[in-house]
Amino acid sequence: MKNLKLAALGADKKRTVVQVGNVKIGEDFVVMAGPCGVESEEQMINTAIGVKEAGAHIIRGGAFKPRTSPYAFQGLGLKGLKILAKASEITGLPVITEVVDPRDVSWVCEYVDILQIGARNMQNFTLLREVGKSNKPVLLKRGMYSTLAEWLNCAEYILAEGNPDVILCERGIRTFETYTRNTLDLSIIPAVKECTHLPIIVDPSHGTGKKSLIEQMSIASVAAGADGLEIEVHCDPSSAKSDSDQQLTIDEFKPLMAKLNKTAEFMKSVM
CB of 235 to Mn ion, least distance (A): 15
What is the per-residue binding string for ligand PEP in 141-160, x denoting contact by CB under 6 A?
x-------------------
Tell me which residues in 232-271 interact with ligand PEP (CB under 6 A).
none
Residue with CB nearest Mn ion?
36
Stretch that binds ligand PEP, among 10-18, 24-32, 114-122, 251-259 (CB under 6 A): 114-122
**Residue among 37, 31, 33 nearest 50 (CA):** 33
Phi-psi region of 200 (alpha: psi -120 to 50; beta: other; left: phi over 0): beta
Residue type, 36: C
CB of 206 to Mn ion, least distance (A): 6
197 binds ligand PEP (CB under 6 A): no
84 binds ligand PEP (CB under 6 A): no
CB 130 within 8 A of CB 94: no
Sign of CA pseudo-dihedral 171, 99, 79, 85: positive
Residue 212 DSSP one-character state:
G
CB of 120 to ligand PEP, least distance (A): 6
Q: Where are the alpha helices (DSSP H) in 134-243?
A: 148-160, 188-195, 204-208, 214-223
Q: CA-to-CA distance for 202 and 221, rounded, in angstroms?
A: 7
Tell me which residues in 191-250 interact with Mn ion (CB under 5 A).
243
Stretch that binds ligand PEP, among 15-23, 86-94, 118-126, 183-191 (CB under 6 A): 118-126
Query: Choosing among ligand PEP, Mn ion, none, which partner's interface includes residue 57 (Cβ < 5 to 8 Å by kind)?
Result: none
Cross-strand pairs, 264: none
Residue closer to Mn ion by CB (options 26, 37) is 37
Contacting residue, 20, 25, 31, 36, with Mn ion by CB under 5 A: 36
CB 230 within 8 A of CB 25: no
CB 146 within 8 A of CB 191: no
Contacts with ligand PEP by CB under 6 A lie at: 36, 62, 98, 118-120, 141, 171, 203, 206
